[in-house]
Structure 1
Protein backbone atom coordinates (compact mmCIF):
# COMPACT_ATOMS: atom_id res chain seq x y z
CA UNK A 1 0.00 0.00 0.00
CA UNK A 2 1.42 3.39 -0.98
CA UNK A 3 1.77 6.35 1.39
CA UNK A 4 -0.94 8.22 -0.56
CA UNK A 5 -3.45 5.41 -0.08
CA UNK A 6 -2.60 5.08 3.63
CA UNK A 7 -3.29 8.77 4.33
CA UNK A 8 -7.12 8.47 4.33
CA UNK A 9 -6.89 5.42 6.58
CA UNK A 10 -4.59 7.27 8.98
CA UNK A 11 -6.98 10.24 9.07
CA UNK A 12 -9.96 7.95 9.68
CA UNK A 13 -8.08 6.24 12.49
CA UNK A 14 -7.28 9.60 14.08
CA UNK A 15 -10.95 10.65 13.93
CA UNK A 16 -12.08 7.38 15.54
CA UNK A 17 -9.44 7.74 18.27
CA UNK A 18 -10.56 11.32 18.98
CA UNK A 19 -14.18 10.23 19.26
CA UNK A 20 -13.30 7.38 21.60
CA UNK A 21 -11.20 9.68 23.78
CA UNK A 22 -13.95 12.28 23.99
CA UNK A 23 -16.44 9.57 25.00
CA UNK A 24 -14.31 8.86 28.04
CA UNK A 25 -13.96 12.47 29.08
CA UNK A 26 -17.18 14.21 28.13
CA UNK A 27 -20.82 13.39 27.72
CA UNK A 28 -23.13 13.26 24.79
CA UNK A 29 -26.22 15.34 24.42
CA UNK A 30 -28.99 12.77 24.31
CA UNK A 31 -31.50 13.56 26.98
CA UNK A 32 -30.30 17.18 27.02
CA UNK A 33 -32.02 19.93 28.92
CA UNK A 34 -34.77 20.69 26.39
CA UNK A 35 -38.08 20.02 28.16
CA UNK A 36 -36.63 17.61 30.71
CA UNK A 37 -36.80 19.89 33.75
CA UNK A 38 -33.08 20.08 34.38
CA UNK A 39 -30.77 23.04 33.92
CA UNK A 40 -27.11 22.89 32.90
CA UNK A 41 -24.95 25.25 34.90
CA UNK A 42 -21.85 27.02 33.56
CA UNK A 43 -19.81 24.48 35.52
CA UNK A 44 -21.25 21.63 33.43
CA UNK A 45 -23.37 20.33 36.30
CA UNK A 46 -27.03 19.72 35.47
CA UNK A 47 -29.52 20.11 38.31
CA UNK A 48 -33.23 19.53 38.86
CA UNK A 49 -35.37 21.45 41.35
CA UNK A 50 -36.83 19.50 44.25
CA UNK A 51 -40.33 18.33 43.35
CA UNK A 52 -39.44 17.92 39.65
CA UNK A 53 -36.94 15.08 40.02
CA UNK A 54 -37.18 11.58 38.60
CA UNK A 55 -36.65 8.54 40.80
CA UNK A 56 -33.32 6.77 40.49
CA UNK A 57 -33.73 3.35 38.88
CA UNK A 58 -33.26 0.05 40.70
CA UNK A 59 -29.51 -0.26 41.04
CA UNK A 60 -28.54 -3.44 42.79
CA UNK A 61 -26.17 -6.30 42.34
CA UNK A 62 -22.79 -7.63 43.30
CA UNK A 63 -19.98 -5.27 44.22
CA UNK A 64 -16.37 -5.42 43.09
CA UNK A 65 -15.68 -7.11 46.46
CA UNK A 66 -18.35 -9.79 45.96
CA UNK A 67 -20.91 -8.32 48.38
CA UNK A 68 -24.57 -7.60 47.56
CA UNK A 69 -25.59 -3.94 47.38
CA UNK A 70 -28.99 -2.35 46.76
CA UNK A 71 -29.00 1.43 46.29
CA UNK A 72 -32.53 1.65 47.73
CA UNK A 73 -31.08 0.72 51.14
CA UNK A 74 -29.56 4.23 51.24
CA UNK A 75 -32.94 6.01 51.09
CA UNK A 76 -32.91 8.85 53.61
CA UNK A 77 -29.30 9.68 52.76
CA UNK A 78 -27.70 11.74 50.01
CA UNK A 79 -25.91 9.38 47.61
CA UNK A 80 -23.09 10.25 45.24
CA UNK A 81 -23.06 7.74 42.39
CA UNK A 82 -19.88 7.63 40.28
CA UNK A 83 -19.63 5.61 37.06
CA UNK A 84 -16.01 4.64 36.37
CA UNK A 85 -13.68 2.17 34.71
CA UNK A 86 -10.11 1.23 35.59
CA UNK A 87 -9.11 1.92 31.95
CA UNK A 88 -10.43 5.51 32.05
CA UNK A 89 -7.70 8.13 32.63
CA UNK A 90 -10.07 10.84 34.00
CA UNK A 91 -11.48 8.24 36.44
CA UNK A 92 -7.98 7.58 37.77
CA UNK A 93 -7.45 11.32 38.28
CA UNK A 94 -10.72 11.98 40.12
CA UNK A 95 -10.73 8.90 42.41
CA UNK A 96 -8.58 10.35 45.25
CA UNK A 97 -10.77 13.48 45.45
CA UNK A 98 -13.90 11.31 45.65
CA UNK A 99 -12.42 9.28 48.50
CA UNK A 100 -11.42 12.45 50.39
CA UNK A 101 -14.91 13.99 50.04
CA UNK A 102 -16.50 10.66 51.02
CA UNK A 103 -14.41 10.52 54.21
CA UNK A 104 -15.28 14.16 55.02
CA UNK A 105 -19.05 13.87 54.39
CA UNK A 106 -20.03 10.38 55.55
CA UNK A 107 -20.60 11.74 59.07
CA UNK A 108 -23.23 14.05 57.50
CA UNK A 109 -25.17 11.13 56.01
CA UNK A 110 -23.63 11.21 52.53
CA UNK A 111 -22.93 7.82 50.96
CA UNK A 112 -20.79 7.13 47.92
CA UNK A 113 -21.39 4.24 45.54
CA UNK A 114 -19.45 3.48 42.39
CA UNK A 115 -20.52 1.62 39.29
CA UNK A 116 -17.52 -0.04 37.70
CA UNK A 117 -18.26 -0.59 34.01
CA UNK A 118 -16.53 -2.03 30.97
CA UNK A 119 -13.86 -3.82 33.02
CA UNK A 120 -13.90 -7.42 31.74
CA UNK A 121 -12.08 -8.68 34.83
CA UNK A 122 -13.18 -7.78 38.34
CA UNK A 123 -9.50 -7.97 39.38
CA UNK A 124 -8.83 -4.81 37.33
CA UNK A 125 -11.54 -2.97 39.27
CA UNK A 126 -10.24 -4.23 42.61
CA UNK A 127 -6.68 -3.16 41.73
CA UNK A 128 -7.96 0.31 40.76
CA UNK A 129 -9.71 0.74 44.13
CA UNK A 130 -6.72 -0.57 46.06
CA UNK A 131 -4.19 1.59 44.19
CA UNK A 132 -6.26 4.74 44.73
CA UNK A 133 -7.41 4.01 48.28
CA UNK A 134 -11.13 3.88 47.40
CA UNK A 135 -13.05 2.46 50.38
CA UNK A 136 -16.70 2.97 49.37
CA UNK A 137 -18.46 0.13 47.50
CA UNK A 138 -18.79 -0.16 43.74
CA UNK A 139 -21.27 -2.28 41.84
CA UNK A 140 -19.54 -4.45 39.23
CA UNK A 141 -21.23 -3.91 35.87
CA UNK A 142 -18.89 -5.07 33.08
CA UNK A 143 -21.55 -4.96 30.34
CA UNK A 144 -23.01 -1.55 31.32
CA UNK A 145 -26.48 -2.96 32.04
CA UNK A 146 -27.01 -0.76 35.13
CA UNK A 147 -26.50 2.40 33.07
CA UNK A 148 -29.30 1.26 30.74
CA UNK A 149 -31.79 1.29 33.63
CA UNK A 150 -31.87 5.10 33.61
CA UNK A 151 -34.77 6.50 31.60
CA UNK A 152 -33.94 8.67 28.61
CA UNK A 153 -34.59 12.34 29.38
CA UNK A 154 -33.57 11.98 33.03
CA UNK A 155 -30.23 12.78 34.59
CA UNK A 156 -28.77 9.58 33.17
CA UNK A 157 -25.07 8.74 33.00
CA UNK A 158 -23.96 9.18 29.38
CA UNK A 159 -20.20 9.07 29.71
CA UNK A 160 -17.45 7.54 31.74
CA UNK A 161 -16.89 9.10 34.15
CA UNK A 162 -20.35 10.35 35.11
CA UNK A 163 -21.37 11.44 38.58
CA UNK A 164 -24.91 11.73 39.92
CA UNK A 165 -26.21 13.06 43.22
CA UNK A 166 -29.33 11.31 44.49
CA UNK A 167 -31.39 13.11 47.12
CA UNK A 168 -32.71 11.67 50.40
CA UNK A 169 -35.93 10.61 48.63
CA UNK A 170 -34.03 8.49 46.10
CA UNK A 171 -34.44 11.02 43.29
CA UNK A 172 -31.92 12.27 40.72
CA UNK A 173 -30.87 15.78 41.75
CA UNK A 174 -27.62 16.57 39.89
CA UNK A 175 -25.31 15.18 37.24
CA UNK A 176 -21.85 15.80 35.80
CA UNK A 177 -20.64 14.12 32.62
CA UNK A 178 -16.99 14.98 33.17
CA UNK A 179 -14.30 14.22 35.71
CA UNK A 180 -14.65 16.27 38.89
CA UNK A 181 -12.08 17.72 41.22
CA UNK A 182 -12.67 18.01 44.95
CA UNK A 183 -14.04 21.58 44.84
CA UNK A 184 -16.50 20.84 41.99
CA UNK A 185 -17.68 17.66 43.69
CA UNK A 186 -18.34 19.48 46.98
CA UNK A 187 -20.19 22.24 45.07
CA UNK A 188 -22.37 19.60 43.39
CA UNK A 189 -23.27 17.85 46.67
CA UNK A 190 -23.75 20.90 48.93
CA UNK A 191 -27.20 22.11 47.74
CA UNK A 192 -28.69 18.59 47.94
CA UNK A 193 -27.15 18.02 51.38
CA UNK A 194 -28.63 21.35 52.57
CA UNK A 195 -32.18 20.27 51.63
CA UNK A 196 -34.48 19.23 54.45
Structure 2
Protein backbone atom coordinates (compact mmCIF):
# COMPACT_ATOMS: atom_id res chain seq x y z
CA UNK A 1 0.00 0.00 0.00
CA UNK A 2 1.41 3.39 -0.96
CA UNK A 3 1.88 6.52 1.07
CA UNK A 4 -0.18 9.62 0.37
CA UNK A 5 1.36 12.95 -0.58
CA UNK A 6 -0.58 16.17 -0.28
CA UNK A 7 -1.20 18.40 -3.29
CA UNK A 8 -0.73 22.17 -3.51
CA UNK A 9 -3.84 22.88 -1.48
CA UNK A 10 -2.24 21.39 1.64
CA UNK A 11 0.80 22.47 3.59
CA UNK A 12 2.84 19.61 2.22
CA UNK A 13 4.65 20.12 -1.08
CA UNK A 14 4.27 17.43 -3.74
CA UNK A 15 6.86 16.48 -6.27
CA UNK A 16 6.14 18.30 -9.53
CA UNK A 17 6.16 16.53 -12.85
CA UNK A 18 9.63 16.77 -14.31
CA UNK A 19 11.16 15.81 -17.62
CA UNK A 20 14.85 14.93 -17.74
CA UNK A 21 16.59 14.88 -21.14
CA UNK A 22 19.80 12.84 -20.92
CA UNK A 23 22.10 12.27 -23.93
CA UNK A 24 20.50 8.94 -24.80
CA UNK A 25 16.90 10.03 -24.64
CA UNK A 26 14.11 11.52 -22.54
CA UNK A 27 12.56 10.02 -19.42
CA UNK A 28 9.18 11.21 -18.15
CA UNK A 29 8.01 10.54 -14.60
CA UNK A 30 4.31 11.28 -14.04
CA UNK A 31 2.66 11.48 -10.64
CA UNK A 32 -1.08 10.84 -10.43
CA UNK A 33 -3.52 12.31 -7.93
CA UNK A 34 -5.93 10.25 -5.86
CA UNK A 35 -7.83 10.65 -2.62
CA UNK A 36 -6.40 9.05 0.49
CA UNK A 37 -8.61 6.47 2.18
CA UNK A 38 -10.42 7.45 5.33
CA UNK A 39 -9.32 4.44 7.34
CA UNK A 40 -12.93 3.47 7.90
CA UNK A 41 -13.78 5.33 11.10
CA UNK A 42 -12.64 8.91 10.98
CA UNK A 43 -12.78 11.88 8.66
CA UNK A 44 -10.56 14.84 7.90
CA UNK A 45 -8.98 13.77 4.61
CA UNK A 46 -11.94 13.01 2.41
CA UNK A 47 -11.95 16.32 0.57
CA UNK A 48 -8.18 16.44 0.09
CA UNK A 49 -6.32 15.19 -2.99
CA UNK A 50 -3.06 13.25 -2.54
CA UNK A 51 -0.29 12.06 -4.80
CA UNK A 52 0.41 8.36 -4.34
CA UNK A 53 4.08 7.84 -3.49
CA UNK A 54 6.31 4.77 -3.33
CA UNK A 55 9.89 4.10 -2.26
CA UNK A 56 11.99 2.34 0.34
CA UNK A 57 13.95 3.51 3.34
CA UNK A 58 16.72 5.96 2.42
CA UNK A 59 19.69 5.83 4.78
CA UNK A 60 22.56 8.33 4.90
CA UNK A 61 25.56 6.03 5.22
CA UNK A 62 28.08 8.85 5.66
CA UNK A 63 27.43 10.03 9.21
CA UNK A 64 29.32 13.26 8.61
CA UNK A 65 26.84 14.14 5.85
CA UNK A 66 23.80 13.81 8.11
CA UNK A 67 21.94 17.01 8.97
CA UNK A 68 20.71 18.09 12.39
CA UNK A 69 17.17 17.11 13.22
CA UNK A 70 14.90 19.99 14.29
CA UNK A 71 13.46 20.33 17.76
CA UNK A 72 10.59 17.86 18.02
CA UNK A 73 8.28 19.34 20.61
CA UNK A 74 4.62 20.06 21.17
CA UNK A 75 1.47 18.91 22.96
CA UNK A 76 0.65 15.21 22.89
CA UNK A 77 -2.78 13.76 22.23
CA UNK A 78 -3.08 13.32 25.99
CA UNK A 79 -2.49 17.05 26.53
CA UNK A 80 1.05 16.79 27.90
CA UNK A 81 4.02 18.88 26.78
CA UNK A 82 6.75 16.83 25.14
CA UNK A 83 10.18 17.90 23.93
CA UNK A 84 11.32 14.63 22.38
CA UNK A 85 14.66 16.12 21.33
CA UNK A 86 15.60 16.78 24.95
CA UNK A 87 13.84 13.86 26.60
CA UNK A 88 15.33 11.26 24.27
CA UNK A 89 18.73 12.89 23.78
CA UNK A 90 21.38 10.25 23.10
CA UNK A 91 18.81 7.75 21.84
CA UNK A 92 17.63 6.76 18.38
CA UNK A 93 14.27 8.38 17.59
CA UNK A 94 11.78 7.02 15.08
CA UNK A 95 9.50 9.91 14.11
CA UNK A 96 6.32 8.77 12.35
CA UNK A 97 3.87 11.15 10.61
CA UNK A 98 0.33 9.78 10.59
CA UNK A 99 -3.39 10.57 10.51
CA UNK A 100 -6.29 8.52 11.83
CA UNK A 101 -8.11 8.96 8.48
CA UNK A 102 -5.20 7.48 6.46
CA UNK A 103 -5.53 3.83 5.40
CA UNK A 104 -1.78 3.30 4.85
CA UNK A 105 -1.21 4.58 8.39
CA UNK A 106 -3.55 1.92 9.70
CA UNK A 107 -1.73 -0.70 7.63
CA UNK A 108 1.66 0.05 9.20
CA UNK A 109 0.49 0.76 12.76
CA UNK A 110 0.91 -2.78 14.08
CA UNK A 111 4.45 -2.91 12.66
CA UNK A 112 5.41 0.35 14.36
CA UNK A 113 3.94 -0.85 17.66
CA UNK A 114 5.87 -4.12 17.53
CA UNK A 115 9.15 -2.41 16.61
CA UNK A 116 8.68 0.15 19.38
CA UNK A 117 8.39 -2.63 21.93
CA UNK A 118 11.15 -4.80 20.47
CA UNK A 119 13.73 -1.99 20.25
CA UNK A 120 13.00 0.05 23.37
CA UNK A 121 15.56 -1.90 25.40
CA UNK A 122 18.12 -1.13 22.66
CA UNK A 123 17.86 2.62 23.11
CA UNK A 124 15.20 3.35 20.47
CA UNK A 125 12.25 5.65 21.14
CA UNK A 126 9.23 6.19 18.89
CA UNK A 127 7.33 9.48 18.60
CA UNK A 128 4.27 10.06 16.44
CA UNK A 129 3.20 13.27 14.73
CA UNK A 130 -0.56 13.32 14.27
CA UNK A 131 -1.51 15.62 11.37
CA UNK A 132 -4.69 16.78 9.63
CA UNK A 133 -6.83 15.44 12.47
CA UNK A 134 -8.75 18.44 13.88
CA UNK A 135 -10.80 16.14 16.12
CA UNK A 136 -8.38 14.57 18.59
CA UNK A 137 -10.98 11.99 19.60
CA UNK A 138 -10.41 10.14 16.32
CA UNK A 139 -6.66 10.11 16.90
CA UNK A 140 -6.98 8.89 20.49
CA UNK A 141 -9.32 6.12 19.31
CA UNK A 142 -6.74 5.14 16.67
CA UNK A 143 -4.03 4.83 19.33
CA UNK A 144 -6.26 2.75 21.59
CA UNK A 145 -7.30 0.41 18.79
CA UNK A 146 -3.66 -0.43 18.02
CA UNK A 147 -2.46 -0.23 21.66
CA UNK A 148 0.21 2.33 20.72
CA UNK A 149 2.81 2.47 23.54
CA UNK A 150 4.52 5.73 22.52
CA UNK A 151 3.37 9.38 22.52
CA UNK A 152 2.15 11.36 19.52
CA UNK A 153 2.35 15.12 19.19
CA UNK A 154 -0.90 16.58 17.89
CA UNK A 155 -0.21 19.03 15.07
CA UNK A 156 -3.27 19.22 12.84
CA UNK A 157 -1.79 21.98 10.66
CA UNK A 158 1.53 20.20 10.10
CA UNK A 159 3.70 23.04 11.42
CA UNK A 160 6.24 20.68 13.00
CA UNK A 161 6.96 19.09 9.62
CA UNK A 162 8.07 22.48 8.32
CA UNK A 163 10.93 22.53 10.84
CA UNK A 164 12.77 19.83 8.91
CA UNK A 165 15.42 21.10 6.47
CA UNK A 166 14.07 21.09 2.93
CA UNK A 167 15.62 18.72 0.45
CA UNK A 168 17.25 16.61 3.15
CA UNK A 169 15.09 13.62 3.98
CA UNK A 170 12.26 15.77 5.28
CA UNK A 171 8.84 14.11 5.67
CA UNK A 172 6.75 14.74 2.54
CA UNK A 173 4.04 12.12 2.73
CA UNK A 174 1.42 10.67 5.04
CA UNK A 175 2.67 8.36 6.38
CA UNK A 176 6.35 9.32 6.55
CA UNK A 177 8.93 7.98 8.97
CA UNK A 178 12.17 9.77 9.83
CA UNK A 179 15.00 8.00 11.65
CA UNK A 180 17.19 10.15 13.91
CA UNK A 181 20.49 8.74 15.17
CA UNK A 182 21.97 8.96 18.67
CA UNK A 183 23.70 12.23 17.80
CA UNK A 184 20.47 13.98 16.84
CA UNK A 185 21.16 13.71 13.11
CA UNK A 186 18.68 12.71 10.40
CA UNK A 187 19.87 9.25 9.40
CA UNK A 188 17.05 8.02 7.19
CA UNK A 189 13.53 8.44 5.89
CA UNK A 190 10.69 6.44 4.38
CA UNK A 191 7.80 7.90 2.36
CA UNK A 192 5.65 4.80 2.60
CA UNK A 193 3.98 2.52 5.14
CA UNK A 194 6.73 0.34 6.60
CA UNK A 195 6.73 -3.41 7.01
CA UNK A 196 8.05 -5.15 10.10
CA UNK A 197 11.12 -6.35 8.17
CA UNK A 198 11.91 -2.85 6.88
CA UNK A 199 11.73 -1.39 10.37
CA UNK A 200 13.85 -4.17 11.84
CA UNK A 201 16.52 -3.93 9.14
CA UNK A 202 16.79 -0.14 9.44
CA UNK A 203 16.88 -0.08 13.23
CA UNK A 204 19.41 -2.91 13.40
CA UNK A 205 21.75 -0.75 11.30
CA UNK A 206 21.32 2.31 13.51
CA UNK A 207 21.62 0.35 16.77
CA UNK A 208 24.87 -1.18 15.50
CA UNK A 209 26.43 2.27 15.00
CA UNK A 210 28.91 3.13 17.72
User: TM-score scaled by structure 1?
Assistant: 0.80
Structure 1 residue 158 corresponds to structure 2 residue 185: no
Deviations 1:59-108 (CA, angstroms, capped at 9, x unpaired): 11100111111121211001111000000001001111111111111011
Aligned counterpart, 1:10: none
Aligned counterpart, 1:19: 34
SS in 1 for 2:34: helix
- Asked whether the 8 Å contact 1:24–1:88 carries over to 2, the reply is no
Deviations 1:86-131 (CA, angstroms, capped at 9, x unpaired): 0000100111111111111101110000000000111111000001
Change (3 A) 1:25 1:123: farther
Deviations 1:9-51 (CA, angstroms, capped at 9, x unpaired): xxxxxxxx94334837526xxxxxxxxxxxxxxx621111211
The number of aligned residues is 166
Trace 1:1-196 onto structure 2 (pairs within 5 A).
18-21=33-36, 23=50, 25-26=52-53, 44-48=56-60, 49-73=62-86, 74-196=88-210
The structure with more radius of gyration: 1
RMSD over equivalenced CA pairs, Å: 1.9
Determine the C-alpha separation between the residues in 2 that align with 1:112 and 1:24.
26
Structure 2: any 5+ residue segments left out of the alignment? 1-31, 37-48
Q: Which has the larger share of strand?
A: 2
Q: Which has the larger share of helix?
A: 1
SS in 2 for 1:19: strand
